[in-house]
Amino acid sequence: MSSAAHSYRPAEFDELQLQARWLDAEHARRAYAYALQYAHPRHYGLNGATVDQIEQHLIASRTVARAWLATRLSAVGTVQIVFGDDEVCVVPAAQFLASWDQLFVPSRDDAIILHNLDQTVLFYCHEEELEIGQRRTV
C-alpha cells in the first residue's frame, strides 16, 4: 500500500484521470529529503544556493499561468510531485501540465515538482505563486 493511502490525494488524482504512481513510505521519505535541498530554508520558494535561473510567476489568471508554465516545463517524460515526506507521486509531465491548476489552485499545500528528464524544478506556493529554475548538481 502506498504511503499516501490515508490521504485524499490519490482519489483526487484518480478523479482528474492522472496516471499517478504513489511512492511507498521509504521512497517517499527519500524523495522528500532530496527535494528539500531545492526549497529555500527560510521562506516559500526555491533555494538560490541550489537552483539557478529562478523565475517567479504570481498567479492572477490560470490561463496566463498555464501558458507561462507550458513554456518552461517540458511535457515530455514524467514529473515527481513532492507534497511532503509521506506523499510523493510520479505522473506524466503532459498530464501534470494539463491539470496542475486543478491540483493546486485555489490555495492548497505547497509542493516541489522535479522533472525526471532534465534539471527543472518547480515550487508551487499556497499563496498562488510559482517559481521555476534549474537544479544545480550538488
| pLDDT tens string 110-127 | 999 999 999 999 999 887
47, 120, 91, 105: CA torsion to nearest 10: 60
Query: Which conformational region is residue 132 in: left (phi greater than 0), alpha (psi within -120 to 50 degrees), or beta?
Result: beta
DSSP state of 21: E
Q: Give the chain's mean pLDDT.
A: 90
Instruction: Inform me whether the pLDDT recorded for 131 exceeds 50.
Output: yes
Q: What's phi and psi for 98, nearest 5 deg?
A: -75, -20
Do the Cβ atoms of 53 and 118 come closer than 8 Å? no
| Cα angle: 128, vertex 100, 102; to 5 degrees | 80
How many whole angstroms separate alpha carbon 84 and alpha carbon 100?
17
pLDDT band of 106, cuts 50, 70, 90: low
pLDDT band of 5, cuts 50, 70, 90: low
Instruction: Inform me whether the pLDDT recorded for 109 exceeds 60.
Output: yes
Q: Is the peptide bond before 41 cis (omega within 30 degrees of 0)?
A: no
Do the Cβ atoms of 128 and 58 come closer than 8 Å? yes
Q: Please tell me whether the overall predicted TM-score, pTM, comes out greater than 0.85 for this model.
A: yes
> For residue 91, what pLDDT is reported?
97
Domain ranges of the chain: 9-135
Instruction: Inform me whether the pLDDT recorded for 80 exceeds 70.
Output: yes
Strand order in the sheet with 111-115: 21-22, 87-92, 78-84, 111-115, 120-125, 129-135, 51-58
